[in-house]
Structure 1
Amino acid sequence: MTIDITPNSALLVIDVQKGFDDAAFWGPRNNPAAEENIAALMDAWQATGRPVVLVRHASVRPGSVLAPEHPGYAFKDFVEERRHESLLVTKTVNSAFYGTPDLADWLKGNDIGQVVVVGIQTNMCVETTARMAGNLGYEVLVPLDATHTFDLTGPDGLSLTADRLATATAVNLQGGGFARVVTTAELLA
């Protein structure tokens, strides 16, 4: 299956921050290849002159490993090494469209209609950003293997593994018409 990547398709790299390496804080994760896939996509986007947008979560929750004063706020080294002239969006909520500077304004100002969303966490900020991008009329591609998340417990002790949450995200995004779920290899081809 061929995927048409527009010449100005924007790669949105969501919250790839050191704080997500704190297993004691987050618990078990899935997809250990996520970082390698994100790096490969960043390299491909930069090699072809396509825009890369780095999104960073500035948590306002007390004790968060993603708070600006915490070392975990920093981007992971492989992202920082590839930062170059990427737009940096800082947010305090799940959607990159509620950050500073305004992502939608920047995309519109650069006549960008297609976005590829990668990063952490699959079922949180990646899914929320992808849903909102779809609602705003962008063509959205989500290479699920360039994301990862963590096991999560919800109401009444109901718990889902990271893999099950990622599967639910894929179904929500593609089944709900928000995005097309793809692989890193498909995008790199």
Structure 2
Amino acid sequence: MQHAALIVIDMQQGMAAPAAGQRNNPGAEDNIARLLDGWRAAGAPVVHVRHISRTPGSPFWPGQPGAEFQPRFAPLAAAHVVEKNVPDCFIHTGLERWLHVRGISRLVMVGVSTNNSVEASARTAGNLGFATQVVADATFAFAKRDFAGHARSADEVHWMALANLDGEYAQVVQTEALLSNLLAGVRSSCAPDQNPIVAS
């Protein structure tokens, strides 16, 4: 079984600005960086996704600093970069074809925000038949009001989004478990007649 592709969603400078709002998971960036380092060391495929807004004045409008990748998550030359205009990274991007051409059927999703681009992308990935995992402690969300007008904390938004996904469109996992499986996969790839498994 081949390596899973790590999908790093919308880790752009605009997401780190104070105007983005109250958020949860302050350690998410560290976990994303750990997973990114692990994937790179294993030579496994990495896809960087960034949102390019079609709304003038948006911090994600082309050419604005907010649209640029955070330096910590800037793609390397070997990485695939996807630019999207809607939350779902599969819509009008060619990502599905890129994955199929390379025989990639397993995806691990990290980034922001849990209830928006991550959830939308994971739903489509699951519906398209990809074995998809979303890393709970390597994603984060922002506080918002629900449709009834009740204030919901960033944690509440985050955990409900993950509850919507788990067991239906994806499996929700933690960073440590993925890193352990990644290391085991690298070790097994050094043994004869065995294939590496990145995620289970």
Instruction: Calculate the TM-score normalised by the size of structure 2.
Output: 0.86
Structure 2 unaligned segments of length 5 or more: list them. 181-200
1:57-136 matches, cutoff 5 A = 57-80=51-74, 82-100=75-93, 102-136=94-128
Q: Does 1:43 align with 2:34?
A: no
* CA-CA distance at 1:135 after TM superposition: 0.2
Could you list the per-position Cα deviations for residues 99-138 of structure 1 after superposition, in whole angstroms to 9, with x for gaps in the alignment? 43x0000010000110000001111000110110000001
Aligned-pair identity in percent equals: 43
Which range moved further: 112-121 or 154-163? 154-163
CA-to-aligned-CA distance 1:137-171 (integer Å, 9 cap, x gap)? 01001111101111112434222111001110111
Paired position in structure 2 for 1:3: none
2:158 alignment partner, one of 159, 166, 173:
166
Q: Distance in 1 between matches of 2:142 and 2:57?
A: 18
> Which residue in the other structure is 1:179 paired with?
170
Work out the CA distance in 2 between the residues paired with 1:92 and 1:139. 24
Which residue identity lines up with residue 149 of structure 1 in the other structure? Answer: A
Question: 2:95 is aligned with what amino acid?
Answer: L
List 4+ stretches of structure 1 deviating above 4 A.
none
Distance 1:144 1:117 in 2: 9
What do residues 12-57 of structure 1 show as CA deviations (whole Å, max 9, x unaligned)? 0000000011112x21011111111111111111111110000010
**Which ranges in structure 1 are unaligned for 5 or more consecutive residues?**
1-5
Contact 2:45/2:79 (<8 A) preserved? yes
Aligned CA RMSD, in angstroms, stands at 1.3
User: C-alpha distance in 1, partners of 2:103/2:24?
Assistant: 35
The secondary structure found in structure 2 opposite 1:63 is coil
Matching of residue 20 in structure 1 with residue 51 in structure 2: no
Q: Distance in 1 between matches of 2:60 and 2:146?
A: 21
Distance 1:61 1:184 in 2: 34
Task: Give the letter aligned to residue 173 of structure 2.
Answer: V
